[in-house]
Amino acid sequence: MRLLYALFSMWVLHAPAAEVKPPVRVAVIGGMTLGGMWPELAEAFAKETGWPVELVTTGPKAVLAEALKSGQVDLVTLHASDEATEMVASGLAKDSEPWARNEHCIMGPASDPAGIKGMKSGANALKKIAETKSPFIDFMGPGSREVSHRLWSAAGVQPKGDWVLKDESSVPQAIVEYAASKHAYVIVGRIPILKGKIPAAGMKMMVQGDPMMRRPYVVMIADEKKFPMSNQAGAKALHAWMTGEKGQAFLRAYDDRKPDDPHLFYPAKPETSKP
């Protein structure tokens, strides 16, 4: 018995220690944490790969950019934008790649003067707004401007006339309240409306579910030339997981697991065909 105990003790003392992987430090755009998706994704990745994920900061693009510039993070995910492009162009980040999408919607007064409620095409809805000369707010938010421009182009309409109103809201979060004061339609992100970050102010969600009203998120890695102490191995593993079939499958299944919640996130890539 003593011999067995001695042999066991020697094995414990000399057995190779399990690899302890350092955390992947991340900066994540606010909608992903506000919507509740990111914590589940990080947990799924860590469970499968053994790489722990540390959420350093979440919020608007400026907050994420500052975290990257100061060397606090190994990986960043945010909307595709001029800011994201600049992070790569300036040598702060690399390997920018689309991996997910979120959706915008058209909000409008309950009276719905253009009669667009329930429509599935944002372009057709804007065409009706133009035809009826119903008030429309040209929201200055970059995401809404991007979606708005795409839809007006698809509708074949130039948004000109006294029915197109300038955005004079005090802060971006007050845009729907401002639109309500003008009895006007406006294009905004669905997540901040559904999660209460932008007050609905009695306005109704008129049009949603149109793929043309979605915006891509990109994921990128801190450039080791600028940040030699960054966790390149962990960041590359998370980047590959998010952009690969594992991450895309997670996004497809995420909303299926929450049938009573509104659909918030979509994969950026089509499902890999099976032979």
Q: Please report the pLDDT score of residue 20 as a whole number.
A: 86
Q: Please report the pLDDT score of residue 261 as a whole number.
A: 67
Q: Locate 57 and state its tokens.
A: 């900061």
Q: Please report the pLDDT score of residue 142 as a whole number.
A: 86
- pLDDT, one tens digit for every residue, the chain (275 residues): 554 444 444 544 454 555 789 999 999 999 999 878 999 999 999 999 999 999 999 999 999 999 999 999 999 999 999 999 999 999 999 999 999 999 999 999 999 999 999 999 999 999 999 999 999 999 988 889 999 999 999 999 999 999 999 999 999 899 999 999 999 999 999 999 998 999 999 999 999 999 999 999 999 999 999 999 999 999 999 999 999 999 999 999 887 766 666 788 999 987 765 44
Task: Compute the distance between CA of residue 249 and CA of residue 232 in angstroms, rounded to an integer.
Answer: 24
Residue 216 contacts residue 100 (beta carbons within 8 Å):
yes
The DSSP letter of residue 27 is E
Task: Compute the distance between CA of residue 178 and CA of residue 64 in angstroms, rounded to an integer.
Answer: 28
Q: Locate 252 and state its tokens.
A: 């497809």
Q: Please report the pLDDT score of residue 35 as a whole number.
A: 78
Say if 21-101+215-267 and 103-213 have the same CATH topology: yes
Strand 24-29 relative to strand 136-138, pairing: unpaired
Return the domain boundaries, the chain: 21-101+215-267, 103-213
The DSSP letter of residue 174 is G
Q: What are the C-alpha distances in Å from 93 to residues 35, 37, 232, 236, 263?
A: 25, 24, 11, 12, 30
Q: Please report the pLDDT score of residue 260 as a whole number.
A: 60
Q: For domain 21-101+215-267, give the CATH number.
A: 3.40.190.10
> Which residue's entry shows tokens 């401002």?
178
Q: For domain 103-213, give the CATH number.
A: 3.40.190.10
- pTM, two decimal places: 0.85
